[in-house]
Chains A and B, each alone.
Chain A
Amino acid sequence: MTAEVLKYTLEQVEALELAPGAEHENLEGWVPTLANDEDLRQALDKAFDYRGDVTLTLKNGERGEAPEKIEAYIFNRHTGATLADSWVQYYSPNAPEKRKVSYAEIARIEFSGKDRAAGKHWEDWVKAYNEKKAAGEKGIALEPEALE
């Protein structure tokens, strides 16, 4: 929790009727401008929250030998005092193990993968259900997305 986040008092918490939901940013396809260290930190914070793959372009290639572009699902990050001691941890589609890369090595970020948390709103389901029901369909259901 960062210092600038609005905090609730206990009285406010206990009186809540409905929980304020999170704002969902449309980040798919975004390529943030990284003019300074703070831009990079903020972009990687968003990449950490993003439920899709991103493409990281490294300054010198990953550990000097890996391809310059990494497709990554970022699931963890550590923010140190400098970019050199800050890192993100990720899974790549073509590698079984967890990997880390330093903030200092990253030159470009592209939110290249599909945002898996976008859409699929309750209202969309209600609308689709009512339409299918009116059309006389049976066995109405949402199906999980294919894994291939």
Chain B
Amino acid sequence: MAVPISQMWTVATYVLKKKLAGNKRYPLVLMLEPLFRCNLACAGCGKVQYPPHILKKQLSPEECFAAVEECGAPMVSIPGGEPLLHPRIVEIVNGLVARKKYIYLCTNALELKRRLPEFTPSKYLTFSVHLDGQREHHDFSVCREGGYNIAVEGIKEAVKRGFRVTTNATFFDGTDPSSVRAFFDEVMDMGVEGIVLSPGYSYDKAPDQNRFLGRARVRRLFRAILSNRKPTWKFNMSPLFLEFLMGDRKYECTPWGSPAYNIFGWQRPCYLLQEGYAESFKELLETTQWEEYGVASGNPKCANCMVSCGYEPSAVIEGFGSLKGFWGIVRGTFSLYRDEHALKLLNEATPHGPANLVKIAASAEKTEPVLEETRA
């Protein structure tokens, strides 16, 4: 695992304190969306479809700090929209660093290289750069030729300047697992600290509704991608969450683990669903009908979700909340997950659907096709 020891220690002690205090519901990562405006127009995105007067609104630094302090989570993810379009983003980041919050600033990196001189490297600040795969795949995914090259320039400059950098990928139906593995090699060669990944989620408002993976397909895809790892690959995620994606663990969603705050307020019930807003974090926790969400609820809106904002908190709480869980982290950190069945899955994977319209040279890992269902 690529997460630094100091960050792991902060999160581990936070979880243990909450456990000892008997808290049942507590946040781990605040999803702080300071604006919805973006400089990309990805066809699959369900986050930024708003009228212009909404896209022009943004949270002030003071509103951001108030939300962070009220929530109390040790980590803050800043997605959007594109946070680097916020005119006061440097002030927001500096204020959060001063509060010793571990920040993941999620960016498509179109503006990263230009804005880097305004930021100061810190163990608390990570640029999480959106890269959805190898060059052609990423450009096609974000609907912009040349987007990959610009992002990679930003990554290399940030690494050179001493910033923590991760890449952040979302995978949809039709993803070629061999290409993803080759992509892992490429990004590790760029000098990033680690890789972050997640299956896509079918936002109600996403213009396109035909590319989202169901859970059975997610497990097969991620078992093919994440088994038989190369020692050079580092993941900036809980190993237990990766095992969940591979089908080796079963978790229930922890929607309050990654609460979302934006110009509308505290989003119910989670970062992905928009069922309304609360005025305060306390109100969110106390008045949301949590039993109506998660796979156990049978709610169709949660049926295909295996996304990190809901399930990684479950994995982190298990990992730092019990000796068995912690042993799972240790074992997962050093395991390469050798798996012949997964190798067969990788070999028989036949990429299909829109993502496969972009042709990339086949990986050398391909051998004879063999049909094998995941053992999850």
A residues in contact (CB < 8 Å) with B: 1, 5-10, 12-22, 24, 48-49, 51-53, 73, 75-78, 89, 91-93, 96, 98, 113-114, 116-126, 129, 138-148
Q: Shortest 10 CB-CB distances between A and B: which pairs? A: A21-B209, A16-B214, A7-B298, A19-B304, A122-B208, A93-B53, A19-B212, A116-B49, A120-B207, A141-B144
Interface centre among B51, B215, B216, B357 (most CB of A within 10 A): B51
Task: Give B268 Cβ to nearest chain A Cβ, in Å.
Answer: 9
Contact present for A1 and B276 (CB under 8 Å): no
> Per a CB cutoff under 8 Å, which of A7, A24, A117 touches B297?
A7
Quick one: given A1-B297, A91-B57, are A121 and B208 in contact (CB under 8 Å)? yes
Main SS at interface, chain B: loop
Q: Which residues of B contact A53 (CB under 8 A)?
A: 51, 53
Contact present for B215 and A143 (CB under 8 Å): no
Contact present for A75 and B303 (CB under 8 Å): no
User: What residue in chain B is nearest A15 (Cβ atoms)?
Assistant: B216
Interface centre among A19, A49, A145 (most CB of B within 10 A): A19
Quick one: given A21-B202, A21-B210, A116-B50, are A147 and B217 in contact (CB under 8 Å)? no
Interface centre among A7, A18, A22, A122 (most CB of B within 10 A): A122
Q: Which residues of A contact B293 (CB under 8 A)?
A: 1
Contact present for B297 and A118 (CB under 8 Å): no
CA distance in complex: A86, B52 (Å): 27
Quick one: given A76-B264, A89-B277, are A21 and B145 in contact (CB under 8 Å)? no
Q: Which residues of B contact A146 (CB under 8 A)?
A: 52
CA distance in complex: A9, B296 (Å): 8
> Per a CB cutoff under 8 Å, which of B48, B207, B292, B304 touches A121?
B207
CA distance in complex: A19, B293 (Å): 16
User: What residue in chain B is nearest A78 (Cβ atoms)?
Assistant: B276
Task: Give B351 Cβ to nearest chain A Cβ, in Å.
Answer: 15
CA distance in complex: A19, B216 (Å): 10
> Given A22-B209, A129-B140, 10 other A-B contacts at CB below 8 A?
A20-B304, A22-B202, A53-B51, A76-B264, A76-B265, A89-B277, A93-B53, A117-B207, A123-B208, A142-B42
Contact present for B202 and A122 (CB under 8 Å): no
Contact present for B298 and A117 (CB under 8 Å): no
Contact present for B41 and A144 (CB under 8 Å): yes
Judge whether B312 is part of the interface by a CB distance below 8 angstroms.
Answer: no
Contact present for B299 and A10 (CB under 8 Å): no
Quick one: given A1-B297, A93-B53, are A142 and B143 in contact (CB under 8 Å)? yes
User: What residue in chain A is nearest B301 (Cβ atoms)?
Assistant: A1
Main SS at interface, chain A: loop
Quick one: given A10-B295, A19-B202, are A147 and B56 in contact (CB under 8 Å)? yes
Task: Mark B127-166 against chain A: 1 for CB-CB distance below 8 A, else 0.
Answer: 0000000000000100111110000000000000000000
CA distance in complex: A122, B357 (Å): 12
Quick one: given A121-B207, A122-B43, A122-B208, are A16 and B143 in contact (CB under 8 Å)? no
CA distance in complex: A22, B203 (Å): 8
Contact present for A1 and B292 (CB under 8 Å): yes
Contact present for A51 and B276 (CB under 8 Å): no
CA distance in complex: A76, B279 (Å): 11
Q: Which residues of B contact A113 (CB under 8 A)?
A: 51
User: What residue in chain B is nearest A89 (Cβ atoms)?
Assistant: B277
Quick one: given A1-B292, A19-B212, A122-B44, are A93 and B51 in contact (CB under 8 Å)? yes
User: What residue in chain A is nearest B212 (Cβ atoms)?
Assistant: A19
Judge whether B33 is part of the interface by a CB distance below 8 angstroms.
Answer: no
Contact present for B144 and A19 (CB under 8 Å): no
CA distance in complex: A53, B212 (Å): 28
Contact present for A114 and B292 (CB under 8 Å): no
In the complex, chain B residues 192-209 whose Cβ is within 8 Å of any chain A Cβ: 202, 204-209
Quick one: given A5-B300, A8-B298, A51-B49, are A17 and B208 in contact (CB under 8 Å)? no
CA distance in complex: A76, B217 (Å): 34
Judge whether B354 is part of the interface by a CB distance below 8 angstroms.
Answer: yes
Q: Which residues of A contact B49 (CB under 8 A)?
A: 51, 116-117
